[in-house]
Amino acid sequence: MPKLGVNIDHVATLRQARREDDPDPVLAAIVCEQSGADSLVVHLREDRRHIQDHDLMVLRNIVKTRLNLEMSLNTGIVDIACNIKPDMATIVPERREEVTTEGGLDVLQHKGRIAEVCNLLKRNGIQVSLFIAPEREAIQTSADLGVDAIELHTGAYAAACIRRERSQDFQQLASMCAFAQSLGLSVNAGHGLNYDNVRPIARIEGIAELNIGHAIIARAVFVGLSAAVKEMRLLL
């Protein structure tokens, strides 16, 4: 049974819509943990469109499970990560104009910089994960870089589920998960997972953690955050 990481960025998105104090992502983190989340995930974006530096500091102090910080390779963000020391840093690609993280990290193109950032993070006792497409070369390069984990991008699978033709993308995820494990990597997955499409992914042998944001926060609008987290937990 994989662990559940709940991404609470959208709680901060709602708060930032008014630039006031509510809803507070810190309170959301507490509710998620009390409802069965195994970790909390936040993305400190360069444009600070949702999570703010202050949120991250408070979260570091109150999260009792594990704090997984999604981050780009930007120097300022790397400095903050080394200072805050989340349990895990997941390196993601980031473009200002995107609505959400669109693709996996181009580990081949950015290999040198990723190696530098990994060393800095590891020296600060932070586990490192790379958010990548479920492709052999990216997985092999990640293993060569000596990271602790990868997070397989499930966006293509989620999109295929909407078209009711998920099987090829599912097979790709399952086989790439096995390949990554054979190289000694811990394998997480996420992006676009929801209450309808999560079960097959949760049953992939050895998958360590699923990181889910939008679907849980969207469901929370109707049933409350605690129930939304518990329902997802049950599906895993």
Binding site for ligand PXP (CB under 6 A): 7, 9, 43, 70, 90, 92, 100-101, 131, 151, 190-193, 211-215
Helices (H), 35-110: 53-62, 75-84
- Choose the catalytic residue: 10, 50, 153, 191: 191
- 5 beta partners: 39, 211
The nearest distance, CB 123 to ligand PXP, in angstroms, is: 23
- Choose the catalytic residue: 10, 33, 43, 50: 43
What would the two tokens of residue 27 be? 């309170």
In angstroms, the first-to-last Cα distance of the chain is 6
Sort 180 into a burial class: Cβ within 10 Å, 0-12 / 13-18 / 19+: buried
What would the two tokens of residue 198 be? 């999560």
The nearest distance, CB 162 to ligand PXP, in angstroms, is: 13
Question: What distance lies between CA 166 and its chain's CA centroid?
Answer: 21
The nearest distance, CB 138 to ligand PXP, in angstroms, is: 14
- Choose the catalytic residue: 33, 70, 94, 209: 70
Is 191 marked active-site? yes
Known catalytic residues?
43, 70, 191
